[in-house]
Amino acid sequence: MNAALIDVVKNMPKAELHIHIEGSLEPELIFALAQRNGVALSYTSIEALRAAYAFTDLQSFLDIYYAGASVLLTEQDFYDMTWAYLERAHADNVLHTELFFDPQTHTARGVEFGVFVSGIQRALKDAYTKWSMTGGLIMCFLRHLSEEEAFLTLEQALPYREHIIGIGLDSSERGHPPEKFVRVFARCKELGFHLVAHAGEEGPPAYIETALDLLRVERIDHGVRCIEDPILMRRLAHETMPLTVCPLSNIKLCVFEKMSQHNLLTLLDAGLVITVNSDDPAYFGGYMNDNFVAIVEALPVQRHHAQQLARNSFTAAFIDTDLKQKYLAQVDAFFAN
Ligand SMILES: Nc1ncnc2[nH]cnc12
Ligand SMILES: [Zn+2]
């Protein structure tokens, strides 16, 4: 075990670009909120809930993840969930974070758009005041629902657009290709949102291509199956298209059998803009630094890889040039010592 490198990856400044805020809901908070709101859960204890986190694929996780989110009802619930994540991120030296949220999971239960945007946004504002941590919100459409429902969600979001930096696409990937959402993504682009999409997590490399060509995304979330298509891999490197990779998630959801088989270092060495992220940390066994420690322990990561991963996280962030330069200088100063 490389103790010195583990210290480096823990302490280096970093950004997180792939975190579903509903996936940061820890079992303890699920139970506390269920009690606060009088919501019935189908698990009798925190331990029983945690024991159910034995996933076989993406769908087996999503079923539990959507059930967990059902305890979120009030603005304060969303604040508490987001604040708990931000405290963990701050402890992991995350200086900037871009949070995914799934509005349809909440509006379908009668929770109003303003309730969750306000709770999440208030926590981000407090993190900025307290630690100068910067952040933004990326609204995801659920791809197992229709494009018409995505359009409706976009309409509901427009009064809050100053709080939303980008649009994403998540949920069940197989059978729901990017082409299902071409029109709504085109509209989001016209409206000036940044665009990202989950692709090539469980779905084939062709979904990565259509996310690029038809949705015109600026980052690919996951994207690890690009390795099956060498031409696509070269394209991603050539276009400096960031991939927000989530190592612990990929193991928990059986994308790779074990961490020593993960391809992120191969992709990084091939020149792709790889970043490391936690995805749904409460469900997958760890936050940012847990992900970095896991890859250092299982893969031949070297110090220059760590620096590249830290730099990539800021290069790929949706922030203005001055802030980007400031953060990149902090990374380089950290590695100069
Ligand atoms: N890893 C993941 N893939 C797709 N949709 C998600 N929603 C939350 N986590 C997800
Ligand atoms: Zn994700």
Cα separation, 212 vs 62, in Å, equals: 25
Instruction: Please count the structural domains in the chain.
Output: 1
pLDDT at 337: 82
Contact predicate 180/142, CB 8 Å? no
Give me the mean pLDDT over the 298-313 stretch. 98
At 34 the pLDDT is: 97
Return the amino acid letter for 192: G
CB-facing half-sphere around the CA of 25: CA atoms within 13 A: 26
- Pocket lining: 249 vs ligand 1, CB cutoff 6 Å: yes
Backbone angles phi, psi at 108, to 5 degrees: -65, -25
Q: Is the CB of 176 under 6 A from ligand 1?
A: no
Going by alpha carbons, the residue nearest to atom 6 of ligand 1 is: 171
Provide φ and ψ at 254, rounded to 5°: 60, 30
- The continuous run of DSSP H or E covering 178 comes out as none
- Does the annotation place 198 within a ligand binding site? yes
pTM of the model: 0.98
How far is the centre of ligand 2, averaged over its atoms, from the C-alpha of 167 (Å)?
13
Q: Given a cut of 80, is residue 171 above it in pLDDT?
A: yes
Q: Are 25 and 69 in contact (CB under 8 A)?
A: yes
Q: What are the pLDDT digits (tens) for 260-292?
A: 999 999 999 999 999 999 999 999 999 999 999
The CA distance from 64 to 326, in Å, is 40
Evaluate whether 136 touches 166 at the Cβ level (below 8 Å).
Answer: yes
Rounded to the nearest whole angstrom, what is the distance from the C-alpha of residue 170 to the centroid of ligand 1?
Answer: 6
To the question of whether residue 279 is assigned a binding role by annotation, the answer is yes
Q: How confident is the model at residue 1, as a pLDDT?
A: 66
Residue 223 has pLDDT above 80, yes or no: yes
Q: Percentage of the chain surpassing pLDDT 90?
A: 99
Ligand 2 midpoint to CA 112 (Å): 23
Distance CA(25)–CA(283), nearest Å, equals 8
Angstrom CA distances, 325 to 128, 239, 272, 314, 317, stand at: 18, 21, 20, 9, 11
Q: What is the CATH number of the domain that holds 27?
A: 3.20.20.140
CA atoms within 13 A on the CB side of 61: 25
Q: Is 213 labelled as part of a ligand binding site?
A: no
pLDDT in tens, 52-107: 999 999 999 999 999 999 999 999 999 999 999 999 999 999 999 999 999 999 99
> What is the C-alpha separation between 95 and 133, in angstroms, rounded?
5
Mutate to test the pocket of ligand 1, among 21, 99, 176, 201 (most ligand atoms within 8 A of CB): 201
- Per-residue pLDDT, averaged over 136-151, amounts to 98
Task: Specify which residues 97 forms β-bridges with.
Answer: 16, 135
The Å distance, Cα 111 to ligand 2 centre, comes to 22
Residue 320 among known ligand-binding residues: no
Pairing between strand 243-245 and 219-222?
parallel
- What is the rounded CA–CA span in Å between residue 187 and residue 11? 40
> Which of 58, 143, 255 most suits a substitution to test ligand 1, by most atoms within 8 Å of the C-beta?
58
The secondary structure of residue 274, as a DSSP letter, is E
Ligand 1 proximity of 23 Cβ (cutoff 6 Å): yes
Quote the ipTM score. Answer: 0.98
Active site residues: 201
Which residues constitute the domain of residue 192?
A: 3-336
